[in-house]
Amino acid sequence: MNKIPVAILGATGLVGQRFITLLANHPWFEIAELAASDNSVGKKYGDAAKWQLPFEIPERLAQMTVLPSDPERVQAPLVFSALPTDIAGELEVAFAKRGAIVSSNASPHRMDADVPLVIPEVNPEHLALAETQKKKYASDGYIICNGNCTTIHLALGLAPLHKRFGLKKVLVTSMQALSGAGYPGVASLDIIDNVVPYIGGEEDKVETETVKFLGRLKGNEGNGGSLRSPVSDLAIEYADIRISAHCNRVATRDGHLETVSVEFEGNGVANKPSAGDIIAAFDEFRGLPQELNLPLAPNRPTVYRREKDRPQVKLDRDAEKGMATIIGRLRECNVLDYKFVLLGHNTLRGAAGATVLNAELLYAQGMLNNVGLSAGRIVG
Could you list the active site residues?
A: 149, 256
Does the protein bind ligand NAP through residue 75 (CB under 6 A)? no
Centroid of chain to Cα 173: 19
The only residue of 85, 188, 271, 374 in contact with ligand NAP, by rule CB under 6 A: 85
- Find the shortest distance in angstroms from Cβ 52 to ligand NAP: 8
Residue 262: closest CA among 166, 170, 158: 170
Asked whether the beta carbons of 370 and 4 are under 8 A apart, the reply is no
Q: Can residue 16 be called a binding residue for ligand NAP (CB under 6 A)? A: yes
**E strands present in 134-271:** 142-145, 167-176, 216-218, 235-237, 242-249, 256-264
Instruction: Return the residue of 2, 25, 39, 271 that touches ligand NAP, per CB under 6 A.
Output: 39
CB 253 within 8 A of CB 186: no
Using the contact rule CB under 6 A, the part of the chain among 11-19, 210-218, 241-249, 258-266 near ligand NAP is 11-19
Q: Per CB under 6 A, does 105 bind ligand NAP?
A: yes
- Closest approach, Cβ 138 to ligand NAP, in A, equals 25
Residue 355 touching ligand NAP (CB under 6 A): no
Per rule CB under 6 A, is residue 201 in the interface with ligand NAP? no
Taking a C-beta distance cutoff of 8 angstroms, is the pair 159, 130 a contact?
no
State which H helix or E strand residue 287 sits in: none
Among 23, 96, 106, 296, binds ligand NAP (CB under 6 A): 106
- Per CB under 6 A, the list member of 182, 219, 266, 295 interacting with ligand NAP is 182
Q: Taking CB under 6 A as the rule, does residue 248 contact ligand NAP?
A: no
Number of H helices, E strands in the chain: 12, 14
Which letter does DSSP use for residue 299 in this model?
S
User: How far is residue 25 from each of residues 28, 103, 289, 290, 297, measured CA to CA in Å?
Assistant: 9, 18, 19, 20, 15
11 makes contact with ligand NAP (CB under 6 A): yes
Which residue in the set 5, 10, 215, 372 belongs to the binding site for ligand NAP (CB under 6 A)? 10
Residue of 12, 75, 208, 229 that binds ligand NAP (CB under 6 A): 12
Min. distance of Cβ 324 from ligand NAP in angstroms?
Answer: 16
- The answer to whether 113 touches 132, Cβ cutoff 8 Å, is no
Contact of 116 with 227, CB cutoff 8 Å: no
CB neighbours of residue 290 within 10 Å: 16
Q: Does 6 bind ligand NAP (CB under 6 A)?
A: no
Residue 166, by phi and psi: left (phi above 0), alpha (psi -120 to 50) or beta?
left
Query: Residue 271 is inside which H or E element, if any?
Result: none
CB atoms within 10 A of CB 330: 18
Q: Which residue is nearest to ligand NAP (CB)?
A: 13
Residues 148-167 that bind ligand NAP (CB under 6 A): 148-149
Residue 206 lies near ligand NAP (rule: CB under 6 A): no
Shortest reach from residue 40's CB to ligand NAP, in Å: 3
Site string for ligand NAP, 299-338 (x = CB under 6 A): ----------------------------------------
Judged by beta carbon, residue 147 or residue 289, the one nearer ligand NAP is: 147
Under the binding rule (CB under 6 A), the answer on residue 252 touching ligand NAP is: no
Torsion of CA 293, 78, 122, 250, to 10 degrees: 110
> By C-alpha distance, which of 143, 125, 243, 150 is closest to 202?
150
Q: Which of 6, 15, 20, 143 binds ligand NAP (CB under 6 A)?
A: 15
CB of 178 to ligand NAP, least distance (A): 9
For residues 73 and 94, give the distance between their C-alpha atoms in angstroms, rounded to a whole number.
Answer: 12
Amino acid at 62: A
List of residues contacting ligand NAP (CB under 6 A): 10-16, 36-37, 39-40, 69, 82-85, 87-88, 105-107, 148-149, 179-180, 182-183, 346-347, 350-351
